[in-house]
Structure 1
Amino acid sequence: MTRTHRLRTAATAAAGILAVSLAACSSGGSTAASTTATAAAASGTSAAASTSAGGGTSSAAGTSSAAGGGSAGGKKVAFVIKPLDNTYFGAMAEGAQKAADEAGVELTVVAAENVTDDSGQASKLNALVTAGYGCYVVNPTSQTNLITGLVPVSQAGTPIVNLDLPIDLDAAKAAGVNVTTYVGTNNETAGQAGGEAMVNLLQPNDQVALIGGLVADPGNIARLAGFTKAVDGKLNVTQTVAADFDKAKAKSAASTILIANPDIKGFFTPSGDMAMGIQQAVAEAGKTGQVAVVGIDGTQEQLQDIVAGGQPAAIEQFPYLMGVQSVQACVAAMDGKQIPEKVETPVLTVTKDNAQAALDAFPAPPAGFEVPNPFN
């Protein structure tokens, strides 16, 4: 079912309030509440886990909403996220809003302009620090860019939920910041799930190539390591190249590899967008069905491609579920409950056998893949 969020974006005082739409597919639930921006606020099974490594740009939106027009008990949650026009992070925001509506808490969302907007995202967090929020969910653009802004939050004893990209805990501790809990998926385990999927698709000792994202990105490193561990002794990894989480660069790299090594039977990548670029290169080389592409993320586009007979498999992580769980963590913490220091959000190995069900439910998990509230 399609759900549409009407976001009123605080752009500038002169520009006034602009109406935009954030739409995504869901396997149920009610239509999300209308959200209103404030000037201050000026995306076979495998119980594995991973962390986003996507890219994109966005006009940062500051939005606040509460189901039924008000928050239960005045509880307010600040949600600081990466760019909303990236479908991965947009799904996170949608899941967070769903959980906020169900809990009756007010949710304010502010987003970075792009995935490298460290200072801009930090400034948006700073604008919320004195606004009386009872919990902060932070999905940082880097492992350290929000630490300074979180110092007064931690000093006030306000819960901090770290979502998706892990904050550098050593740097946080040195600054006096206490992260209450982490919600996300385990990158290495997700990469391992990708490796297991590839092993099932190919013959022993077949040659595969890895097309990674940013060389120094922790998520990228862990995903590639997990994949390599899973295929060790079963498949031959001939080369690893970096494509900076860029679809066009990934396509170009795959094309070059296919020309240089016609014996390549598979590509693994830690990004859904890059998987689509690689699949385009495979198709243009006339090797669809002969060269397997397996990528992490499980974007809607990837799922559609599997259904259509393109990519044979993808590792779907659930940013929607991450958003849900992050707000659930805040609600539990604001209620004074003891909560776990870390909750790993599971992923799903998607093949042609379950791709349609995954697509129908997107961005939520498909029926039968139930994940209970870990903070109850």
Structure 2
Amino acid sequence: MTTTLSAATFKLADQAALSPAQQQLEQRLLSFIHTHKDQPETGLFVIHGDAGTGKSAVLAAAFSQLQALSRSQNANPLQGTNNYLVVNHNEMLKIYKRLAGDAPELRKKDFQKPTPLINRLNKTDQLADVVFIDEAHLLLTQPDRYNKFNAHNQLQELIKRSRVVVLVFDTRQVLKLKSYWQASDLQPFLDRYPHELFNLDEQFRVTGNADVVNWIDQFTQGHLLPKPTDDQFDFQIFADGQPMYDLIRQRDQQVQLSRMIATADFPYVVNHGTWYVTAGSLKLPWDKVNLTDDPWALRPETLDEVGSIYTIQGFDLNYAGVVLGPSVGYDAATDRIVIHLDRYEDQEAFKNRDDLGALSPLKTQIVFNSINVLMKRGRYGLYLYAVDPALRQRLLAL
């Protein structure tokens, strides 16, 4: 098996490295911006795609082109435009700002979290020309006083303050009720504004064959298939967490960017001491609040921690050791994965809402979404350990 070192933890490829589908998307996107930037109605360009299909790569490449044209000394239709790339994810924002330091056409101020940008545009009564939104499924769909967002939907507010909005949207990566999006929730915006849709369906992160990707997809819908084999992708199931961690350390020494990550099934309170993830004989601390400018997976000391969906979503790892916590169980009668909502420790994810109907199925979907995010982190290998004894035995029997 051959692997390559990664310079960053999500793939921001140059033009030569983009696939034909990605290059087609980039050109259609820039053409859409040209067509709609001077129209009376805001134009929406929506990019769909599962975890690992290269959405951020295209977004970053197109945004770099846009900013190069905006800041060009040569006259062109996009010269002098006021553009931003927005992401509601602290760790991804750090990666974008880090890359801005290496690209002459980019500035760190080009990259923003949504609430500060919305509040600033409102205060100054300004319109942005183009706003790119990565991980738009993380935008808030209700007020959040803690984050100083007082309106009801961040996407609506960004559309009101922009001439063109380009958004990446994947309902399978929604992780909290306060930002809960269903596929149908986008429809009112598509009915209201001129738009174009593009779907990326080629898996770029997980190098495993179609059987490997299908196994993960089926697992995150509750189904168990026979364990797939692929000489180019290292997929292993462990009876204990310690040997899994030992192998992750070995992989990190060989190719870097190999980390332990887990479902949010272990207690954790921000700024209240050290909290631990246990996986059989293994006990490691949860990731700590990261106040540095370096993303979690790029810091060497995090090899001795366990990452969460909030530190790893959107990033590439070379190898991922995934701990499935107590909320992820197994029902022998139906031979299906079951979710025990009372054992899921991410209370922030389940803050109740009264506008979504029955919450139990939505909460179950959020947990499955988090598993999908975790299992699709590793480019070259996925290692699994299940805390639930029944699930662990069933996985080992595969």
Instruction: Tell me, yes or no, whether TM beats 0.5.
Output: no
TM bucket (normalised to shorter chain) is 0.3 to 0.5
TM-score (norm 1): 0.33
